[in-house]
Structure formats: structure tokens, C-alpha cells
Structure 1
Amino acid sequence: MFKNHIKIAWRSLKKQPFFTFLNTFGLAIGMAGALLISLYIHDELSFDKTFADAERIYRIDTDIKFGGAEMRSAEAAAPMAAAMQKDFSQVESTVRFRDRGSLLLRRTGTETNTKELRVSFADSTLFDFFGIELLVGDANTALEQPNTMVLTKTAAEKHFGVDNALGQTMLLNNSDTYTVTGVIDDLPKNSFLREHTVFMAMSGYADAQLINWGSNNYYTFVKLIPSADVADFQEPLEGMLDTYMLPWAQQHFPGITKKSFIEAGNYLRYHTMALTDIHLYSNRDSEMSANSSIQNIYILSFIGFFLIVLACVNFMNLSTAYSLKRAKEVGVRKTLGSNKMELIRQFLTESGLISFISLLVALILTMIVLPFFNELSGKAVSIPFSNAIFWGILLLATILLALLSGSYPSFFMSKFKPVKTLKGGAQSSVGGGNIRNTLVVFQFTITVFLIVSTLVVFQQLNYIQSKDLGFSKGQIVLVEDIFAVDDRLASFKEEVLKIGDVKNATISYYLPTPSSRSNSSYFMEGAMTQENAIQMQTWNVDPDYIGTLGMELVAGRNFNKQYATDSTAVIINEATLKVLGMNAEEALGTQISQDIDLERPQFYKVIGVVKDFHYESLRENISALGLFWNQTPGILAAKISPGAYTETLAELENVWETFAPGQPFNYRFMDDSFNTTYEAEQRLSKIFIIFTVLSIFIACLGLFGLAAFNAQKRTKEIGVRKVMGASVSQISYRLTVDFLKLVGIAILISLPLGWYAMDKWLQDFSYRIDIPWWVFLLAALLAVGVAILTVSYQSIKAAIVNPVKSLRSE
């Protein structure tokens, strides 16, 4: 019988090609979308699980409130790892990283540098800790000695190949010589180390050897012994404040006690973060690599699930719409002895056949669009064709999909009464209108919800792009690695300023877009106690910084080269005034210092107050910041004339070649650098658009099917109305308005849901939009417009039928 069911199902599908195409294509679109989302989610959930003993590895995070500033850092103090290794029996091993950023690298004896974007100091335990094998070299000794380095395979091949790498010497930033002691394979794309290409020995980094508990700059990981429970580890971790931090602090802040520290409103707390949770659950001030969010996983899971459900609903509606054409077939089968279960098996076989055809189409569609999806999402996922588990899940999901999508049409058609269907009364025997209407309401509820979400995400991103940030990011080109010009920095800047379309230029490591950050504690003259500490960002800039970046002074003046005393001056932002408890005029002339433990501290005089500008993500509030005149060779930012990019960049490169021959000319635009801060949101918005369009398309197919069903069921009613004088427009209106009622119900349900969900999403931003009322209106109008366009075709088609044909059988 199964063979017979397959044969009949195939004949039935061939007999109705348009219906088969709609059903197959609708299911295939839903399956392809869900498959892409599933591959994305699987990649996100797999982060850092490839490392050895990943389930026993934790990062030490630090929460600090001191000097009016609160910090949630992913880093800890340099001596933290050694202290835990010594004091805690639960700790099996530790490893630290100190991010170095980017550097220029070249083989000794050559002239041309290569830029490595992600470089880090690391302890020698790195390879054993994470189970990373070396392609060449000894993992136990590779990073033991100072001035040694390990490269990834890609980095090694740039210079001398993997086999020839061992023992080679390389020059870092044209100054420091390092010896290559090992090469590892490129690190997994789904790991927090994915962008790192060079690891340098921590033993050669002087700061790492200091007992300094006040500077949290080291990513510190611990591996617990197999029998340890991380919950038991938390209590002794908190005790490190008393054991180590306070004794160190008392050397620098005389008289400080735990009581006075807490009564001043301060705190210092250490936490553990599981390695496998970092990518989705960690959102701290200084992450080692860009993380995602578990919220995005929930959102995409929701979209993927409902894409499948929408496709199933679409299948149900189209199947029931076509059921009238098969009513006589059901009647004949029942008359000839077919029972209800046999008919159900027949129709489920047909839905199963459509599902498996849809699966093949979905796989083809996925393979076609996967490269574009990877580019959009920033992933490198692939379909695991060789994985038996993947095929098992896919086949099981297809079978469940066939049962889910085919169950209602199968039971629905098996209920046809043969007496009525053979007399031509199929219309009165089909029923089930409430279920079909509910399915349409469900489809459009999800669709309108996605439309609202997409519009809100776009509005927030537009707000970010157009908000007054307190600085100008347009027409500013950033030339990187200018330390390559050595001691001719001032001459280099002068030559850049001679370029006709360069309006201004400044040199600094510190920019309000992603760049270096430095936090320090300062104290006002006359209040040199820890209770009066001011925690603020310390940025070294030159006198042209404020002018080049278009910042505004609200009081005082800028640095001036004519005043020698400005070398000990500081310009603070408005957020610092709130910490000081002063207005701008009162703050001018006050003096601050870091040197609480020195007899003769170095004071810096406040000469100006700059208007607050956003230097962190808009998720964060603006905190205290001080600009100090101390030129550091990091990045040159040049303000250039609009429309002169090509010529100006060419001239900049010529100046660069004069001052740094053979060195790579690396540049970027500040607005592009700013946009990288919100790359995750931009990708999410694009994914929203794609899958919202898909959901609208699938919902339209379902509505199209129901409109066809409704028009077919009411053929004689339409005929009677036309005979009684009804016009085509009146009949079309009558047929269309019934569906608009369903869409209206869907809108009333989805709009509050959309507002609630997106209001929660916006709470992640300290600076955010209020969801405008027109977003809901536009979403409703789009839904109504799509519904009218979809239904009108079937309505008009039914309305123009000759009434003689529709009433002939009466």
C-alpha cells in the first residue's frame, strides 16, 4: 500500500503543478531560512568548546567602583594568576594575556614590514592550558624565555614558511628583536583567540612582573581541577580583597581600611566567567575579542522557528484551498471502501513527498545563498554534509514537518461525506473555517511583529548615526603606525599639513572611536585621600586635537604652544565636573594629581572644560575624562576637504613614503571606525530585513491559498450576487474585507508584543530612541497593503466569472 500511496501522491502532485510549486517553494523557503539560522546558532553556541577541558576553564572578571567611576572589566591585576595558583587548591593551572594591539613585523635583514592586527603577550602555559599543539617547536618551552614569540601558520607563511620558522629572528616596530620559537595552526574561528596571529613571551614584559594590584590589564584564565565546583571557588576569590588588594593599597593610600573603602561607596569584586559563556554572556568594558549576545540567539531562534511554522501554516492553507477539487476523489474512494485511516495515510504520504522535495530544494537554495549569508553575518559556516548526526536531525525534522504540515489537511479531507461530495455539495462539507482563520491571524501576527522589530532596529541605528556625538567623525582619515617615522614625528605632521586639502591634523593614541584606553585615579589638591579619589580616563593629546575633531570648549581654553606651563595642564570633560561637584568656571584653576604617595606630587592645572563627547558605545554613559598634553606616536588624524579623498590619500601616501620608506601605509576613515562599534546591530538589522521579507512572502502564499479557497467555496454565492446586480468592485470588496478583519486582529495582537520586545532590546543602550508611534502605523499599513495585494487577485478573478457558469449546476 505504501508503494501505491507514493504512486498516487506523485500523480496527484504532477496533476496540479501550480499548487505543487507553491507548496514546495513555500516550504523550501521556510526550511532554507531555518537551516541558515540553525547553522548560525550552532556556530555561536560552539564558541571556545574546541579547547581542551573547556568546561573547567574560567576567566577572572573584576567589578570596581572607585573615585566616582564604575568599571566592569574582563581583566584582572598582573599578580592575580600567581596568587591563585599558590593559594587555591582548586586551581590546576593559570594563563594570562596582555593585549598588545597591532604591530609592525619584519624578518631581520629585510626592510619591508607586515602589519599584524592582533598581538598579545602570553604566559608559557598557554599551549598546555588550552591544548594547542605546535606545528613546529616545543610547547613546554616555546614562550619561556624573554623576547621569544610563537606565530600562527598564516603569520609564519608571510615571512619564511612554517618549516623554516624555528629560530628566525624578527624585528617588532623597527626596534625590538624577537626569536621565533614555535608555530601553531590558525586558531579556530569560533574562539576568543580567532583574530590573534602572534603571541609574545610574558616573561619579557616588565609590567607583568610587578606586584601591582591596582592596575587591571591582564586577561586571566584559571583551569580548575576536575573535582572542583566553581561555586566553592567564589568565596575564597572574594577574600583576595583582604589578602592582597588592601595591603597593597595601604602602601599607596595611607590610612585606607576596608571599612573606609566601603563607606566611601567603593567596592572591588572578583567573579568567574565560564570560558564557554564568554561569547554570548559577557559584555564588559574590555573584551579580548568582539562578543555576540544571547539575546541575538533568542531572536534568531524565534525567527527560525516561526519561519518553519509559517511555512507549515502556508502548506495547510494551500492544501485546504485545493481540497474542493479533490472532494469527488475522496467521495469515490470512500464509496469503494477506503476507510478514514487509509485516506489519512494517503494524504500524509503526499505531504511527506512535498516535504522531502522541499528539503532538496532548501539544500540547493542554502548552498547558493550561504556565501552571501556568511558575508552578511561575518561567519564562515558551512553545511556539514559528512556529518551523520546532521543528516539524522535533518531527516527527522523533515518527517516531523511533513506530519505537522500535513496533519490538518489529511484529517480535514478525510472527513468529507461521500454523499454530499458526489452530489456536488463539497462546499458545505469542508467547514473548519475558524482553524484556517486562526492560522492566517497567527501568520500575520508574526509578520507584523517582525516588521515592527526591523523598523525599531533601523531607527536606533539611524539615531546612533545622526546623534550629536560631541565630535566630528566625517572627513577624518586616520593614518596608523606613525611611530614608523621614528624621531621625525613633528616634521611628518608639518608635511601633512602642507597638503592643500588637509585642514588640520593631530597625533594621539586616543580617539573617541575604538582605540587605546587608559584609566587612572586622580586627587584634588588639598583632598589627597582615597575617599576623594577621582577615577577618570587619561588621554595624551596635542594642541590640535580638539580643533581637528571638532570638539567644543564650554569654559577655559585649549592647550597653547606659547605657554610652557601647559605641559602640566589638563582639560577635563563635563562628566568630570559632576564627580568634582563643581561647575565649569569653579573647576578652572583647580589642580589634580596622581601622586598620593609622594611628598612632592606632580599637579596638573585645569585650564579648560570640553563639552561631553561619546568615546564609548552609546550603550554606556559618558564618564570622567582628562586630556593631557603629551604627544604619543600612535595615529595621525587628518581633517580633509569633502570630495578630495582620492587625491589627498595619494598625497598622504607620498609623504609617508618619504618619512617611512618600505613601511606599510595603513589608513582608515573615522566614520568607518565608529561604525565597527555597532557592527553586531548592523548585521542584526540586515538579517531582520531578509527574514522579515521571507516571512511576508510565506504569509502571502498562505493568504493567497485561503483567498483561493474562499473564492472557490463562495462561487455560487458570487454568481447569485452578480445576477442580483452586484458589481465587480462590490464583490471584490466583500471578499477582501473578510481577510482584512483577520489582518486587523493580527495587528492588534502583534503591536503590543512588538513594543514590549523592542523596548527590552533598547534597554541595552544608555542613549536610545523612544519608539515613535508611526512605526506601529507603518507596520500596520504594510501588513494591510500586502494583504490587499495578495487577496485582490483572487477576489477580482472570482468576481469577473460569468454567473451562468457558477450557477449551471443549480
Structure 2
Amino acid sequence: MIKNYFKIAWRNLKSQPFFTILNIFGLAIGLAGGLLVSLYIYDEFSYDRMFVDADRIYRINADLKFGGDIHNFATVTAPMADAIRSDIPEVEMTTRFRTVGTMLLKKTGSVINVKETHATYVDSTFFNMFGIDLLVGDPKTALKEPNTLILTKTAAKKHFDIHNAVGQPLILNNGDTYTVTGIIDDFPKNSFLRDYGVFMAMTGYRDARVPNWAGNNFQTYIKLMPGTNASDIQQRLQAIVGRYVIPGIQEVFPGITEEQLLASGSYLNFSTIALKDIRLHSNRAAEISPNNSIQNIYILSFIALFLIVLASINFMNLSTAGSLKRAKEVGIRKTLGANKAKLRIQFLTESCLIALGAMVMALIMALIGMPYFKQLSGKSLAIPFVDPSFWAVALLATILLGLLSGSYPAFFMSKFVPVKVIKGSGNVGGARLRNVLVIFQFAISVFLIISTLVVYQQMRFIQSKDLGFSKDQVLLLQDVYAAGGQVHSFKQRVKQLKGVQNASVSSFFPTPSNRSQESFNREGALGAEHSISMQDWGVDYDYVSVMDLKIIAGRDFDRAFGADSTAIIINEAALNLFGMEPKEALGMRVTKVLEGENTSFYTVIGVVKNFHYESLRNDIGALSMSLGNFANGMAVKLSAGDFTNTIAQIEDIWKKVAPGQPFSYNFMDASFNTTYKSERRLGNIFITFTILSILIACLGLFGLAIFNAEKRTKEIGVRKVLGASVSQISYRLTADFLKLVGIAILVSLPIGWYVMNKWLEDFSYRTEIGWWVLVMAAAIAIIIAVLTVGYQSIKAAIQNPVQSLRME
């Protein structure tokens, strides 16, 4: 019997090749999209699960409000780890990271530096915390002594053979000499340490030994004892504030109490987050590596589900529409003794065969589309053909999809009454459900069209918005500190180039760069309740000019004024915290370090208009700029013209003043764009899967249009004989489908508007969803429907009526 089911199913599929191919192709598109998205989601949920005891490892977070500003840090103070070990016995061990960004390394006696983009100080408990084995070296001693480091295999190979690495000296940033004490394997791409190649001993980092409870610079991880939950330690974790943090603040603000701070609206809350949750549930300041968002996973999951559901709806629609052709077959089978159960098995067998064919085609499509999807997602994904579990899941998914897609047609057709369908007087029905499914399909498609238009509208808004600074034609040179005492000379020689307008050295730029937060007090208001939290940027005399910042009161730094070494420029957001007008703030004296009678003050000489130095997701915060000597980078304002030639000239100068040092640069607008990489990626994903969803919907609509035209062949012939024109017949055939599309538009427009407004709420500065977005989405849907149905309608309308009526 089973063999007979498959034999009959195969014959039926071959007897109507067009609808079979249409069904297989539609299902394959949905499955291919679902497969690619599933691989992406699986990869996202695999982050940091490779570490030993990963389920017991947590990071300490800090939520701080002080000086009118709110901060959510992924870092805490240096002495936090010691306090946790001494006060919370449920904690087995702690490990701290202090990231330092880029690092220049060279062998002793060499003048050529090798740049590592990610380096960090780390405690010696690092190995036991994460279960990391050394390829070379002893984990018990590897990071115990100051001025020692370990390298990943890739980083070590840039300098020497890894088997001879231990004991070798390396010079860091043209300064201190460190000894290599171990080599570890490269971290996987789904690890939070994936980009790091240099790990230096925390014992040699001075700030790690200072009991300073005011700064938040150390990522601190804890491993809980087996059987302990994070909630078990929360109360004692928070008690650290009163026991240690408040006494630390009292050294600066004598007499201040925790109650007074809370009464002023300030707070400091410590919390934990599981290591395995950081990738998708954490987006805080000072993350050790960029993270994704669980919202993006939800969006992609829904898109994948939509694609598969749309494909299943196509199958149901085409199967129920084609039931008229098989009505007599069902009637004869029932007359010969077939019951409903056997008929359902027969139809479900056919749907499972179609699903199997669709899965094979989907795998081929996924292989072809994988290079594009890798570029789209920014991941190195691959279909795990050699994994037996993959094939088990694929087979299970195929069967479930076949049963799901074929369930309604099977139950629908098995209910036909034999007498009626054999006589031809029975109405197979199902039209109402088919209409509902068409509406659902196009509602999803219109929703995705709206989403795509809104994402791109927001990106256009970001690109065109006045940021308050000039990012065009600005070249950012990195690691200029490698020139040592020649930095100033290098800057002056670059400024003299014909293609250069100006240049400025600083570690702080309004694109992803260093950030430094300090508490400031006005002279005469030195209490903690009067503190203002501001960004503290060290700049030079040319910074405001190069960045094209607008001064609304006062003046810029000027070499003619010697007192400018203790001057400061603030932005409008800082004025709001001080509660002052721009001109009123000029001459105000502020301090960021309280030292009793020896407290040093800065004088406000200028106020700049607010500019966006962070993502448009965030409000503009308070900012101060003062003259500073040390600089990681240099901004060069280029003249319009041949940038390539000017950059080559700058590189020639660099090679002369800093021989052997790497020359690294990028354009500020490109650096700015990286801030919104996830939004652009989301927009590209939306448009890709919107096209796929529309394609699936069109396949179903096209199949229904063919069926509808065949069903009404004689009606069309009679109308033509009675004088109806081709346009009138085409309109009548098309209008029924356009009504369904119209209902889908009415359903999806308010939903799309609401959902995308919620998405835009993540941005402090955002566009508005204009009426034209909704109109354009509706127009696109209508045009697609007309083109899909119109062709078949015209084809049916121009047919010779003699052919359709000659059998009457």
C-alpha cells in the first residue's frame, strides 16, 4: 500500500508539471531563506559557549548616574575584583581585563614595528577562568610577573617561531620591553576575545594596583561556585557600594553619605550578566568586542518564518485551487472504497514528495546564495553537510513542512461528496480560505516593503543630518605616537603640503575613538551634589578648526595666550548641566581634580555648538576640551583634488620621521559609517528577504491567476461573443485579485507604521515615517499584483472564443 501511495503520488506530480514545479520552486525559496537565516541564528547563539564552565562565568556591570549624566558600563573599578573575592565566598575566582586598543610590537634590535589592533592587560587567573591551554609555556607562571605577555599563535608568527617564543623579548610601543611567557591558540570567531592577539600581565599595570573606586576601566569576570545562582550574590554585590565605594568618594568629597547621593538623584548599581548572554543582550559602554542585539535575531527569525509560511500558503492555495481537476478522482476513489484516512495519506504523500524536492532545490539555492549571504551578514558561514545532525534536522523539517503544507488540501479534498463531484454538480469550494491566504501573503510582503523603506529613510537621514562637525575630506592617521618626539614636526610638515588645509593631533574624535569621562565642579560649588559629569578630551590648537566646530560664545584656543594651557572649551550640553547661558559661562572656573587648597582650575574660554560625537541613538552628552600633549591620532583636512597623491606624500613624510613604524589611516566619513554598520546590514537584509517574499507571493498569485482563467474559460468565451473587449475581460479577471491586495494593504499599513515607529524609538535623533512611505509601499504591492495577474488575464482575454465554446 505504501508503495502504491508513492507510485500514484509520483504519477500525479508528473501529470501536472507546471504546478509541481511552481510548488517546488516556491517552497525551495522559502526553505533556502530559512536555512541561511537559521545558520546565522545558530552561529549567534553559539558565542562564548566553547569556554570551560561557561555557564558559571558572569561579568560585573555598573549602572551609574552622577553629575546629571547616566552611564551603563560593561566595566567596573580596579579594586572591585579583590572586594568580590573577600566579601562573596560563592565566587570561586575573578579575572580582569584592561583593554588598551592598538599595540605596536617589535623584536629587540629591530626598527620595524608590527601593529596589533587589539591588546589587553589580563590577570593570571585568565587561564583557569576560561579553561585556556597554552600551546607553549606554563599557565601557572605565564602572567605572574610584570612586563610579561602571551600571544596568540597568529600574533606570535609575525615575530618568531612559536616553539622558540618563550623567553623572547618584545618592545611595546617603542618603550618598555616585555618577555613572552606563553603562546595560546587563536580564539574562535564566535568568542568575545576573537580579535585579541596580545595579553599582558596585569601585575605590571600600575592603575590595577591602585585602590581607586572612582574610575570604571576594568572588565571584571567572576566564576561562581557550582550550584550557585547569580541572584544569590546580588545583595552582597550591591553592598560593596556602601562598604567600599562611598568611603572612596569621601576621600574626594569629605562627609558625603550614600543617603545624600541617593537623595540628589545619583546612584551606582552593580549587576551580573552571564557570559553566554553578553553577545545578544549587552550593548554597554566599553564592551570588549562589538555585540549583536537579540532584537535583530527576533527580526531575522520572523523573516525566516514568514518566508516558510508564505511558501506553505502558496502550496495550500495552489493545491486547493487545483482540487477541481481532482474532484472526480476523489469521487471514484471513494466509490471504490477508499476512506478519508487513505485519501489524506495519499495527498500528504504527494506534499511530502514536493517538500523533498523543494529541500534539494533549497540546498542548491543556499549554496549558490551563500557568498552573497556571507557578505550580507558579515559572517563566515557554511552549510554543515558532514554533520549527521544537520541531515536529521533537514529531514525532519522536510517532513514537517510537507505535512504542514499538505494538511489543509488533504483534509479539504478528502471531504468531497462522491455523488456530487462525479456528476459535476458539486462545488469544491475553498475560495474563501484561498482569499484569506492571499491577503495574508501580501500583508506580510507590504509590511516588509514598509520596513525596508523606513530603514533606508533613517539611514538617509543619518547621512544627511548636520552632525555639527565636518567629516568629509578628513583623513584620520592612527598611532602617530610612534613618531615619539617628532609628532609635532610631522604635523607641521603635513600642513605644508599643497593638498592639505590643516591638521590636528588628538586621541579624541567624533567617530569611534577614545572616550574619557570626568567629574567637574565649579569654583565655589565643590560638593559632590554639584558635580557635573562630562567627556574630557585632550586636543591641540587646530582641533576646532579641522573639525569645523562652531563656536557660539568666546573663542578658540590661541597660541598667543599662554594661559590657554589651563583653558577649557565646553559644549551646549555642558551649559545645560551648569544651568547657564553661553556668554554667562565665559570666565567660569572649573576643576576636575579636588586637591584641597592646591586644587587646580580651568577657565572656560569658549562654548561650541553641540555636535554628535556618538551614535544618533544617543543624546548629545556634556563635553569639555582642553589642550593635551599625548595623541594617538591625527586628523588631516584635505583639499579637494587628488587624495591618492596627497596620502602618498603624507606617507613619505611619515617614513622619514618614523622609519619602520606602520602607516595606518582611514577617512572620517568611512569611520562614521562603521557606527551604523548594523543598521545598513539590517536594511540590506530587509530588502533581500522582501524581494524573496514578494517573489513567493507572486508565484502563488500567478498560479491562482492561471487556475482562475482556466476555470472561467467558457465565461470569457461567452462574454467575447456578446461583445466584451479584451480590456473589459482583463479588468474583470484582475479586479478580483486587486481587491484582495487592497485588503492586505489596509491590514499591513497600520501594523508596519506601528512596528517601525517602535524601531525608530531606539534613535534619539530619527526621521518621521512620511505618508509617502505608506503610499509607495501600497503602490509597489499593487504594481506587482497587476503585473503578475495582468499577463495571464490578457492571455485568457485574447483567446479565440470558438475554442472555448465548441464543446458546448
TM-score by length of 1: 0.98
| Corresponding residue of 2:278 | 278
CA deviation string 1:32-69 (max 9, x = no partner): 10011111111111211111111111111111111121
Q: What residue number does 1:397 align with?
A: 397
Specify which of 456, 459, 465 is matched with residue 457 of structure 2. 459
Match of 1:601 among 599, 602, 613: 599
Between the aligned partners of 1:9 and 1:656, the Cα distance in structure 2 is 74
SS in 2 for 1:575: helix
2:764 to 762, 766, 777: 766
Task: Give the match for residue 293 of structure 1.
Answer: 293
Q: CA deviation at 1:648?
A: 1.1
2:627 to 626, 629, 633: 629
**Which residues of 2 match residues 92-107 of structure 1 at below 5 A?**
92-107=92-107
Q: Tell me which residue corresponds to 2:528.
A: 530
Unaligned segments of structure 2, at least 5 residues: none
Go from structure 1 to structure 2 and tell me whether the alpha carbon gap of 1:712 and 1:411 turns closer, same or farther (over 3 Å shift): farther
- Could you tell me how far apart the structure 2 residues matched to 1:464 and 1:713 are? 52
Please state how far the C-alpha of 1:136 moved relative to its aligned partner.
Answer: 1.2
CA shift, 1:270, in A, is 0.8
**1:512, 1:616 within 8 Å by CA — same for their partners in 2?**
yes
1:597-656 CA-to-partner distances (Å, cap 9, x unmatched) read 331211111000011001111111111111101132211111112342211111111111
The structural deviation recorded for 1:417 is: 4.8
Instruction: Write the distance in 1 (CA, Å) between the matches of 2:161 and 2:318.
Output: 60
Q: State the AA in 2 paired with 1:405.
A: S
In the other structure, the counterpart of 1:655 is 653
Aligned pairs (5 A) from 1:133-148? 133-148=133-148
Q: Greater shift after overlay, 795-804 or 549-558? A: 795-804
Q: Is the 8 A contact 1:321 1:708 kept in 2?
A: no
* Counterpart selection for 2:791 from 793, 803, 807: 793
Q: Distance in 2 between matches of 1:159 and 1:360?
A: 48
1:352 is matched with 352
Q: CA deviation at 1:461?
A: 1.2
CA separation in 1, counterparts of 2:542 and 2:256?
40
CA distance in 1, matches of 2:180, 2:18: 66
| Unpaired runs of at least 5, structure 1 | none
| 1:672 corresponding residue in structure 2 | 670
After TM superposition, the structure 1 = structure 2 runs for residues 609-624 of structure 1, keeping only pairs within 5 Å, are 609-624=607-622
Q: Which residue of 2 aligns with 1:783?
A: 781
Contact 2:91–2:224 (CA under 8 A) maintained in structure 1? yes
Does structure 1 residue 255 correspond to structure 2 residue 264?
Answer: no
Which residue of structure 1 aligns with residue 50 of structure 2?
50
Do the aligned partners of 2:499 and 2:641 also contact (CA within 8 Å) in 1?
no
What SS is found at the alignment partner of 1:110?
A: coil
Q: Distance in 2 between matches of 1:361 and 1:226?
A: 48
Kindly indicate whether the alpha-carbon contact (under 8 Å) linking 1:571 and 1:609 is maintained by their aligned counterparts in 2.
Answer: yes
Cα offsets for 1:347-392 (capped at 9, x unmatched): 2212111111111111122122223212211112222223333222
Q: Please tell me whether the aligned partners of residues 522 and 590 of structure 2 are also in contact (alpha carbons under 8 angstroms).
A: yes
Give the superposition deviation at 1:330.
Answer: 3.8
Q: For the residues of structure 2 that align with 1:549 and 1:497, how far apart are their CA atoms?
A: 15
Q: Partner of 1:748 in structure 2? A: 746
- In the alignment, residue 659 of structure 1 is paired with which amino acid? V
Q: How does 1:1-400 map to 2 (within 5 A)?
A: 1-400=1-400
Q: Which moved more, 1:276-285 or 1:694-703?
A: 276-285
Rounded Cα–Cα distance in structure 2 between residues aligned with 1:327 and 1:647: 76
Aligned pair partner of 2:480 in 482, 493, 496: 482
**How far 1:512 moved relative to its partner?**
0.5
Q: Distance in 2 between matches of 1:411 and 1:692?
A: 31
1:421 deviates by: 4.8
Tell me by how many angstroms 1:329 deviates.
4.0
| Range moving further from structure 2, 749-758 or 602-611 | 749-758
Pick closer, same or farther for the CA change 1:643–1:11 going to 2, 3 Å. Answer: farther
Name the SS for the 2:597 alignment partner: coil
Shift of 1:162: 2.4
The letter for the 1-side match of 2:53 is D
Does 1:551 pair with 2:549?
A: yes
Query: Residues of 2 paired with 1:109 and 1:321: CA distance?
Result: 81
1:610 and 1:765, CA in 2 relative to 1: closer, same or farther beyond 3 A? same
The amino acid across from 1:298 in the alignment is Y
Of the structure 1 ranges 508-517 and 99-108, higher mean CA displacement relative to structure 2 is found in 99-108
* CA offsets 1:727-776 (integer angstroms, 9 cap, x no match): 11101101111111111111111111111211111111111112111111
CA contact (8 A) 1:127 1:133 kept: yes
SS of equivalent residue, structure 1 residue 599 = helix
Structure 1 Cα separation of the partners of residues 418 and 383 of structure 2:
48
2:681 is the alignment partner of 1:683: yes
* CA apart distance, 1:334: 4.2
SS in 2 for 1:487: helix
Counterpart amino acid of residue 41 in structure 1: I
CA contact under 8 A between 1:94 and 1:222: conserved in structure 2? yes
CA deviations on 1:390-443 (whole Å, 9 max, x unpaired) are 222221111010011112223333344555555556xx5321100100110110
Provide the rounded CA distance (Å) in 2 between the counterparts of 1:543 and 1:613. 18
Partner amino acid for 1:407? S
Partner of 1:431 in structure 2? 429
Residues 478-530 of structure 1 deviation map (CA, whole Å, 9 limit, x = unaligned): 11111111101111011111111111110000000000000111111111111
Q: Structure 2: how far apart are the matches of 1:429 and 1:395?
A: 37
Q: How far does residue 105 in structure 1 lie from its aligned partner after superposition?
A: 1.4
Matches of 2:311 and 2:680, distance apart in 1:
27
Q: Is the 8 A contact 1:39 1:383 kept in 2?
A: yes
Shift of 1:336: 4.4
On the 8 A contact 2:19/2:703 being kept in 1, the answer is: no
Query: Aligned partners of 2:139, 2:369: CA distance in 1, in Å?
Result: 41
**Letter in structure 2 aligned against 1:781:** A
* Contact 1:473 1:671 (8 Å CA) reproduced: yes
CA distance in 1, matches of 2:733, 2:109: 83
**2:399 aligned with 1:412:** no
Determine the structure 1 residue equivalent to 2:568. 570
Greater shift, 654-663 or 322-331, is seen at: 322-331
Paired AA for residue 606 in structure 2? G
Q: What TM-score do the two structures reach when normalised by structure 2? A: 0.98
Tell me how far 1:290 sits from its aligned partner.
0.8
**How many Å separate the matches in 2 of 1:417 and 1:712?**
23
Q: Percent identity?
A: 59
Stretch moving more, 271-280 or 71-80: 271-280
**SS of the residue 2:598 aligns to:** coil
CA contact (8 A) 2:327 2:428 kept: no
Q: Secondary structure at the match of 1:77?
A: coil
Distance 1:479 1:436, change over 3 A: same
- Report the secondary structure of 2:36's partner residue: helix
Instruction: Tell me which amino acid in the other structure corresponds to 2:135.
Output: L
Question: Aligned partners of 2:254 and 2:190: how far apart in 1?
Answer: 47
**In the aligned structure 1, how far is the partner of 2:718 from the partner of 2:164?**
90
Deviates more, 1:235-244 or 1:799-808: 799-808
Q: More displaced, 719-728 or 74-83?
A: 719-728
SS of residue matched to 2:52: coil
Of 16-25 and 35-44, deviating more is 16-25
- What is the alpha-carbon root mean square deviation over aligned residues? 1.5
Local SS of the residue matching 1:506? strand
User: Residue deviations 1:280-324, cap 9 Å, x none?
Assistant: 111212211111111111111110111100011111222234344
Partner of 2:735: 737
Q: Find the aligned partners of 2:337 and 2:727 in 1 and give their Cα distance.
A: 46
**8 Å Cα contact 2:321/2:430 also seen in 1:** no
Residue-pair matches, total: 808
